Amino acid sequence: MNTDTASIPDRIRAAKIAGATLSRAPAQRRQDALLAMADALEDPSVRDELRQANDADLVDARAARARGELSDALVRRLKLTEAKLEVLATGLRQLAAQPDLVGAVLETRELDDGLTLSRESCPLGVIGIVFEARPDAVPQIVGLALRTGNAVALKGGREATRSNAAMVSALHGALARVGVDPAAVTLLSGRSEVSELLQQEGLVDLVIARGSAAFVDYVQTTSKVPVVGHAEGLCHVFLHSTATATMAASIVLDAKTDYPAACNALETLLWEPGAEAALAESVRVLASAGVALRGCPATRALHTQLEAADDTDWDTEYGDLVLSVRRVDDLEAALHHIERHGSRHTECIVTQDAAAADDFLARVDAACVFHNASTRFADGYRFGLGAEVGISTGKLHARGPVGVAGLLTYRWLLRGGGHVASAYGPGRRRFKHE
């Protein structure tokens, strides 16, 4: 049923059946599935196939970049490296080692003698994931979905068509080897299939959209299925007056240059009077790393070599070795800037003042808020979640890196012995609620 010729509804129905079977299986079956996928990603022959497919995608992507049709950031996200594959395999093993949460009892309440209510975790069902570039997202998404007993329908960007197909083929083979129905993972292609996926109300339980703000907005406005959006990451680091130069420079350099195309990379550096030394060292190491710096007038008065920033820079996610720098009057002004220009993804303060740090952490409205740590830590793998299907900047259902817990919901299970509701109330039997 899970073939290119089957209709989208039929493929999703097959996925739903396969996912439900997996969710009812012993926890070991779900662990075995992830370990088999990790083995596949470490297999030299599989890596050769992935590399060939990815190289072909990269040739087309670089040509599209030369025509101005694809950004540098997307091309960088597209490349599958040995290091990425190692991290992916490690993440799958880490995820497999975590306690199984399917069917976990979250709370129990005795309503009356012989009448017991429990709240238990359960899979969402079928999750649709639409994302741009990044074929490394495929095993992360599949691993999290299967670990939680969910089925998944994937749609990546056309720039990664060969890479995604090769990755899913490798994962299908791994699942079949441990007796898990590969139909639980289906790969879609083409815009028409995305549009059809978004209309599968009743079959698809949740859609997660990863990509640009415009892409996520398109998914959210056209989908009949609930959507969790993973959109832009316009992240800030604020240098407080007590920030030490060495620490500030180390954090800022990592946040900007470790992986500039990532959504948790630093895009705007804020500083207040008193942080000039921390700013100077940060500017020095960033410039040495080839980062193009754009500054406000106050910043350029100290560092005349910087380009002039304009108002659009404060709202720009560069995804590249470009950084805007702005002086703010104080912590209050920094909070105001972040509230106005941030994307509620990840924000950081560098300070030796515990009270200032606590104030910042308490008041910033973002999924991740850090003190003296790079924004690059905002990641499911680094958080110990094994992986993530995305980083949600919304506030409903899941927030921040969406790992295992974000792909589970719960049910209320009531076990009685012939109890009837009409027996309870004023002048009648009382509930125990223990």
Q: What is the pLDDT of residue 230?
A: 66
The Cα–Cα gap between 33 and 143 comes to 8
Instruction: Write out the E strands in 328-415.
Output: 346-350, 368-371, 391-392, 400-401, 408-415
Instruction: Write out the E strands in 220-301.
Output: 227-230, 235-239, 266-271, 292-295
Largest CA distance in the chain: 82
Q: What is the pLDDT of residue 1?
A: 43
Query: Do residues 341 and 397 share a domain?
Result: no
Q: Is residue 117 part of a domain?
A: yes
In degrees, to the nearest 5, what angle opens at C-alpha 346 toward C-alphas 343 and 352? 130
The Cα–Cα gap between 106 and 150 comes to 19
Q: What is the pLDDT of residue 396?
A: 67
Q: Is residue 383 part of a domain?
A: no
Domain range spanning residue 265? Answer: 235-377
Query: Do residues 165 and 30 share a domain?
Result: yes
Q: Is residue 289 part of a domain?
A: yes
Strand partners, 292: 322
pLDDT band at 75 (very low <50, low <70, confident <90, very high): confident
Can you tell me the mean pLDDT for 323-351?
96
Taking only the tens place, the pLDDT of each residue in 349-397 is: 999 999 999 999 999 999 899 999 999 999 877 887 766 777 777 766 6
- Among 273, 243, 237, 249, smallest CA distance to 378 is for 237
Q: Is the pLDDT of residue 4 over 60?
A: no
Q: Is residue 39 part of a domain?
A: yes
Q: Is residue 159 part of a domain?
A: yes
pLDDT band at 187 (very low <50, low <70, confident <90, very high): very high
pLDDT band at 214 (very low <50, low <70, confident <90, very high): confident
Task: Report the domain count for the chain.
Answer: 2
The Cα–Cα gap between 237 and 278 comes to 12
Query: Do residues 14 and 73 share a domain?
Result: yes
Q: 188: which 2 tokens?
A: 């879609």
Q: Is the pLDDT of residue 2 over 50?
A: no
More confident residue, 243 or 396: 243
Q: Is residue 419 part of a domain?
A: no
Query: Do residues 264 and 187 share a domain?
Result: no
The percent of residues in the chain predicted with pLDDT above 90, rounded, is 72
Q: Is the pLDDT of residue 3 over 70?
A: no
Query: Do residues 56 and 195 share a domain?
Result: yes
Q: Is the pLDDT of residue 280 over 50?
A: yes
Q: 259: which 2 tokens?
A: 């992986």
Query: Do residues 352 and 260 share a domain?
Result: yes
- Among 283, 298, 274, smallest CA distance to 353 is for 274
Residues 102-140 as b or e (16 or more Cβ within 10 Å = b): beeeeeeeebbeebbbbebbbbbbbbbbbbbbbbbbbbb
The contacts of residue 41 (CB under 8 Å, 6+ apart) are: 47, 85, 88, 89, 92, 139, 170
Query: Do residues 18 and 96 share a domain?
Result: yes
Q: Is residue 256 part of a domain?
A: yes
DSSP conformation class of 20: H
AA identity, residue 267: E
DSSP conformation class of 400: E
Q: Is the pLDDT of residue 64 over 70?
A: yes
The percent of residues in the chain predicted with pLDDT above 70, rounded, is 96
Q: Is residue 429 part of a domain?
A: no
- The answer to whether the Cα torsion of 387, 215, 319, 375 is positive or negative is negative
Number of H helices, E strands in the chain: 14, 17
pLDDT band at 161 (very low <50, low <70, confident <90, very high): very high
Q: 7: which 2 tokens?
A: 């209709």
- Total length of the chain: 434
Least confident of 93-102, 136-145, 171-180, 217-226: 217-226
The Cα–Cα gap between 141 and 406 comes to 12
Q: What is the CATH number of the domain that holds 319?
A: 3.40.309.10
pLDDT band at 255 (very low <50, low <70, confident <90, very high): very high
Q: What is the CATH number of the domain that holds 115?
A: 3.40.605.10
CB 392 within 8 A of CB 97: no
Query: Do residues 84 and 224 share a domain?
Result: yes
Query: Do residues 350 and 405 share a domain?
Result: no
- The answer to whether the Cα torsion of 341, 207, 53, 386 is positive or negative is positive
Query: Do residues 299 and 404 share a domain?
Result: no
Taking only the tens place, the pLDDT of each residue in 197-211 is: 999 998 999 888 877
The Cα–Cα gap between 8 and 217 comes to 23
The Cα–Cα gap between 151 and 70 comes to 31
Query: Do residues 199 and 281 share a domain?
Result: no
Query: Do residues 17 and 132 share a domain?
Result: yes
Q: Is the pLDDT of residue 422 over 80?
A: yes
* Average pLDDT, rounded, for the chain: 91
